[in-house]
Structure 1
Amino acid sequence: MAVQEKKEAVAVLGAGSWGTALAMVLADNSHEVRLWSHNEDQVKEINENHTNKKYLPGVDLPERIVGYGSLNDGLIGIETVILAVPTKAIREVLGKIRAVLREPITIAHVSKGIEPDSLLRITEMIKEEMPVELLKDVVVLSGPSHAEEVSLRHPTTVTVASENMAAAEKIQDLFINHNFRVYTNSDVIGVEIGGALKNIIALAAGITDGLGYGDNAKAALMTRGLAEIARLGTKMGANPLTFSGLAGIGDLIVTCTSVHSRNWRAGNLLGKGKTLDEVLDNMGMVVEGVRTTKAAYQLAQKYEVKMPITSALYDVLFNGKEAKDAVDVLMARGRTHEMEDLVNVLDERNFEN
């Protein structure tokens, strides 16, 4: 598939595995890519060795990718920013952008999380932090995509969503090529909720694997986990069909079943008896599902939505409950119809419309 003819300079903020992999896609499409990192040693490695060994070992980076340690220099003349930092760092980085930006930009974020306590999605955080005069549009990119495989140019498909479809299509044009297929979607809420909450279910799937419970348990967990995601997302205003797509079931499958998934790996260690602190020290990278579990637990209370898997995981992460005991509680729940809760939410949505 041909990429767009017009090339431009794009800033990717965050030189972790996902930000670097996406920078490679942009470079493959002949764009000028400025990859920003707050770590000067990492910037030096990118520019001199064309590698990022900590996050993508064994991968050679295209020379079109130039590392920047100065955010001011990296944003000069930029119209599009790819925001690829962990959820907990987003407000800090947006503050730095705001301080040096002179012209309005489009921000496409690729993070998957919800802010605890405020319960804001990332697009909402961006709109809250960025002055209207400096922000053209906000786009979210999500879907089943491990950075390790994208960096090897394995076939990958994602979706981009925005309230402004022209902005979504622009990001689609920047990224799409014969290895990296991009669909568009107008359901920002659904894409963000699906991308964030699948990390919770991946943690839980890792726990069941760590406990040695096998494929039956994991299949059930993923299926009922998707029902939880759809219940909450639909209650928040998402299109329920989004959860049957790339940002829903697609991302859920890849994150719950792959050793590349840091959330699955973290859950697996919890299932094997490690404490949360030990797990986070062992991972060495952000495990978004931990913070998102707290946020989703709070959202379930706010919207009065049943989320038993999320509640059980919350008890494991924050209340010291043993993982096996949490699974036993889930299995001992009272009888219910498989479609009951989702049908009730859909009925409410139809009534409101």
Structure 2
Amino acid sequence: MNLVSTDSQKTMAMLGAGAWGSALATLAAVNHHELRIWSRRGELSLAEAIADADIVLFAISMKGVRNVAAQVKEMGISDKTILVTATKGLDPKTTLTPSRILQETFPNNPVVVLSGPNLSKEIEAGLPAATVAASHNLEAAETIQAVFSSDCFRVYTNNDPLGTELGGTLKNVMAIAVGVCAGLKLGTNAQSALITRALPEIMRIGTHFGAQPETFLGLAGLGDMLATCTSPLSRNYRVGAGLAAGKNLEQILAELGSTAEGVNTTKVLVNLANREGIPIPISRQVYRLLKGKISPLEAVSNLMDRELKPESCDILDESVG
């Protein structure tokens, strides 16, 4: 990968050294930015990592976002520091996305969501990819665009951080469903139909909370869903395939050895949908499957047995069950 010119080199604190954090560190290093990587098992302290940082990037699991953000706030950062979230999930207690937790904790700082069809192993291998840097602060989004862009990694900007974030978060639930479909060897037709029907479900949720519909047709929506729902490199896809193979969830997660955010996201999403009255037929079957209430075949059967209706009525109509 070759350098893409930036106005100045930045100092970045990378919080999290998992698969995605490591991939992002590789991308940032290409443009020769000063990089400080913090993890709970690392030698560098959190205070040392964030000291005078231009950018603080959160690449930690969803369960750690609120706690780590609180620690960063207590230690103190400049209002000019750009906060970036590369975490995909929903907070179990508040149902907030990571960016909203960061904006709530740091109301005066620009917050950028980094999300797209980015499988970490392919990024590490230097294969070409594209992503989205989304923020209400265009200058901050463009700064992150410059930091990560290279001849192998193309970064686009948009002004819909919530839609960008929800696209990346909710597709993990759908990837579990498609993994089940693939594991049961139901064929390409079934997988294609499931992915296509999953898109309006995600759009319905996102637009309910004010996200822009077109965001879900871009890299952070359809693009990310295609990558996650069609590759065995996807942890959530492998969860679904494992369930189809008759394994229990605990065994599957142990074999993964890393976080599959779709498992926790499904639980939070169902509670959110119940509260807001949002129809989520695919996600609800995934939830029942993860809870052990139905088998993989029963989940597929329940979706196929739904009431017949026109295709277009599900796109943005929240009254559809």
Give the TM-score, by structure 2 length: 0.94
Q: Which residue, out of 99, 109, 134, partners 2:74?
A: 99
In structure 1, the partner of 2:308 is 335
Work out the percentage of aligned pairs sharing the same amino acid.
39
Distance 1:193 1:207 in 2: 22
Contact 1:3 1:177 in 2 (8 A): no
Q: Which residue, out of 255, 260, 272, partners 1:287?
A: 260
Equivalent residues in 2 for 1:16-95 (5 A)?
Answer: 16-40=18-42, 68-95=43-70
Q: Specify the SS of the correspondent of 2:317.
A: helix
- CA gap of 1:102–1:338, structure 2 versus 1, over 3 A, is closer
Q: Which residue, out of 1, 6, 9, partners 1:7?
A: 9
Distance 1:111 1:125 in 2: 11
In structure 2, the partner of 1:53 is none
Distance 1:299 1:343 in 2: 17
The answer to whether structure 1 residue 112 and structure 2 residue 88 are counterparts is: yes
Q: Which residue, out of 110, 122, 140, partners 2:113?
A: 140
Amino acid at match of 1:21: A
Q: CA deviation at 1:131?
A: 4.3
In structure 1, the partner of 2:155 is 182
Distance 2:140 2:78 in 1: 17
Q: Which residue, out of 295, 302, 309, partners 1:322?
A: 295
Q: Specify the SS of the correspondent of 1:7.
A: coil
In structure 2, the partner of 1:206 is 179
In structure 2, the partner of 1:163 is 136
Amino acid at match of 1:179: C
Q: CA deviation at 1:318?
A: 2.0
- CA gap of 1:2–1:69, structure 2 versus 1, over 3 A, is closer
> In terms of mean alpha carbon deviation, does 25-34 or 315-324 score higher?
315-324
Q: CA deviation at 1:101?
A: 2.3
Q: Specify the SS of the correspondent of 1:85.
A: coil
In structure 2, the partner of 1:349 is none
Q: CA deviation at 1:94?
A: 1.1
Q: CA deviation at 1:102?
A: 4.3
Any idea what the Cα deviations from partners look like across 1:146-167, whole Å, max 9, x if unmatched?
1111112111100011111111
Distance 1:102 1:144 in 2: 31
In structure 1, the partner of 2:269 is 296
In structure 1, the partner of 2:233 is 260
Q: How many residue pairs align between the two structures? A: 316
Distance 2:290 2:93 in 1: 17
In structure 1, the partner of 2:146 is 173
Amino acid at match of 1:279: I
- CA gap of 1:240–1:280, structure 2 versus 1, over 3 A, is same
Q: CA deviation at 1:204?
A: 0.6
Amino acid at match of 2:95: L
In structure 2, the partner of 1:124 is 100
Instruction: Give unpaired runs (5+ residues) of structure 2.
Output: none
In structure 1, the partner of 2:166 is 193
Contact 2:179 2:239 in 1 (8 A): yes
Contact 1:117 1:298 in 2 (8 A): no
Contact 2:91 2:268 in 1 (8 A): yes
Contact 1:11 1:74 in 2 (8 A): yes
Q: Specify the SS of the correspondent of 1:324.
A: helix
Q: CA deviation at 1:79?
A: 1.8
Instruction: Give unpaired runs (5+ residues) of structure 1.
Output: 41-67, 347-353
Contact 2:181 2:241 in 1 (8 A): yes
Distance 1:344 1:91 in 2: 33
Any idea what the Cα deviations from partners look like across 1:42-72, whole Å, max 9, x if unmatched?
xxxxxxxxxxxxxxxxxxxxxxxxxx52111
Amino acid at match of 1:15: A
Q: CA deviation at 1:302?
A: 2.6
Contact 1:222 1:256 in 2 (8 A): yes
Q: CA deviation at 1:266?
A: 1.1
Contact 1:316 1:322 in 2 (8 A): yes
Distance 2:154 2:228 in 1: 19
Distance 2:159 2:311 in 1: 29
Q: Specify the SS of the correspondent of 1:88.
A: helix
